[in-house]
Amino acid sequence: MSASQLSPITTPAKPIYHRFSDIFDAGFRVDWGVASFLVVSHILVLLLTPLAYMYAPAGLWQVMLSWTLIHAFIGALSTTVYSHRLIAHGAAKDVRLPTHIVFLGMQIFAVQGSVRRWSAQHVIHHAVDKTGQHHLDPYSATWFSTSWRNFLWSHMLTYLFDHPYSREFDAALKAKAHPAIVWQDKHYVLLLIVANFVLPIGLGFGLAGWLGGLCMLMASSAGFVLAQHNTWTVNSVTHMWGFKKGLISSAQNNYLWLGPLGEGNHHADHHDYPRDFRNGFGWSGWVLDPTRYAILALRALGLVQGLKRASRWQEAQIIARRKVRDTKAKSPSVIWQQWEEKLATLGEEWLAAAKAWDQFKLEKKRLTHQIRQAGADSMAAARERMGGTQDDLMQDLRARRESLRADMQQARKRLKAGREEFFNALWELKQATMAVA
């Protein structure tokens, strides 16, 4: 790991606006259609939901509550699994047509714009990490110089405005060209009205007349308002407060916030490696990530294939960089100068061990594939010869797999040792810093 690899990839974003009104000079305009819809639906949900429960026809409150909860869950799940990980980030090489159809249908209940627009905006949100064009971030939590403005803007205010045209957004939109996604985008408003209003009102009317219809309208509105805020916390909360800061964005981990089904738990690792289908690296990536479990279930059902994830080398590099950055910030420069080289060397050894591990894993995958292939071939040959013997090739492959297993055990030990030594050095450095202080 060279000295340049120790430093963060980009410089943190600086505020570009002071007051909200500054954005009008940059070409933002109020989107009256969306703004009225959001404001009116929020006011109605706040004011009328308690009344709807108070005056609901007998027995309907259970239906209303179930609808709201299921509605919010469907909206949240389709946003995290589909709009976010599968479509915006392409976390699977192959997404089957039934998956597209089911999730495009579910996503209508999220009321967060079509999948096409949602994912294009999110692509830009991540792209600014690399391009440094922070003014293009559709829901930046760093544009303003005060936290409360950043919170309000990234959480909700951004959606009330028509953003200035950008070639980048246009290209991101055109890149999401799957016919089913384009179809949903084209018919989005109609689909939204049917799913979120006609369907629940119709059900309520069928169950308990017009009052029932009105009550179910409130249940549905509460469902999508919950789904909206659930997603928006990812853009506001996880970009402003948390425990583990990312390398290339303001994103942080928020282990406590499970609402967005894993997205609140991953933002630091996620912004550092967005294509990953998981919320984070190592064991912590398994904890509190319902979206990961859902994607694994889809793979088990054959509905998605070729899931992408960071290699051990990529993970190690990101973790090492973060650790070095945080330690450097906390260490007095006299001490840091003594330790910088040692840390770089240990980091390099750890990365080399991780790379070796990755290569072994790749080889194992190749070998397993060959064995499966040879097995199928020899079965076919045996059937033809009526009782033919096991191929030599098969035995050879199996022997190679055995020796690979032993090599992999060694590689795993080296990887663990490399990581441990790097972390031990960090620990010693911390002790030395404390002794000086």
Alpha-carbon distance of 348 to 429, in angstroms, equals 17
CB of 1 to Zn ion, least distance (A): 26
CB of 129 to Zn ion, least distance (A): 9
Residues 226-265 that bind Zn ion (CB under 5 A): 251
Strand locations in 231-308 (E): 304-307
Task: Reduce the secondary structure of 394-407 to three states and give it as a string.
Answer: HHHHHHHHHHHHHH
CB of 88 to Zn ion, least distance (A): 6
CA 259 centroid distance within chain: 13
CB of 96 to Zn ion, least distance (A): 22
Q: Please say which residue, 215 or 251, places its beta carbon nearer to Zn ion.
A: 251
Number of residues that bind Zn ion (CB under 5 A): 1
HSE, side-chain direction, 13 A CA sphere, residue 135: 11
Site string for Zn ion, 3-32 (x = CB under 5 A): ------------------------------
Q: Which residue is nearest to Zn ion (CB)?
A: 251
Q: What is the DSSP letter of 283?
A: G
CB of 74 to Zn ion, least distance (A): 20
Give the residue among 430, 213, 239, 210 at the shortest CA–CA distance from 328. Answer: 430
Assigned token pair, 24: 């009008």
Q: Please say which residue, 200 or 242, places its beta carbon nearer to Zn ion.
A: 242
CB of 255 to Zn ion, least distance (A): 16
CB of 336 to Zn ion, least distance (A): 30
Q: Please say which residue, 91 or 217, places its beta carbon nearer to Zn ion.
A: 91
Site string for Zn ion, 318-357 (x = CB under 5 A): ----------------------------------------
CB-neighbour burial class of residue 97 (10 A; exposed 0-12, middle 13-18, buried 19+): exposed
The CA distances from residue 232 to 140, 187, 377, in Å, are 11, 24, 53
Q: How many other C-beta atoms are found inside a 10 Å radius of the C-beta of residue 270?
A: 26
Phi-psi group of 132: left, alpha or beta (phi > 0 → left; psi -120 to 50 → alpha; rest → beta): left
Task: Indicate the Cα dihedral angle 180, 183, 189, 192, nearest 10°.
Answer: -20
Q: Please say which residue, 49 or 250, places its beta carbon nearer to Zn ion.
A: 250
CB of 265 to Zn ion, least distance (A): 13
Which spans in 241-311 are helix H? 267-272, 290-300
Q: What angle do CA 127, 135, 117 make, to 5 degrees?
A: 55
Give contact residues for Zn ion (rule: CB under 5 A).
Answer: 251
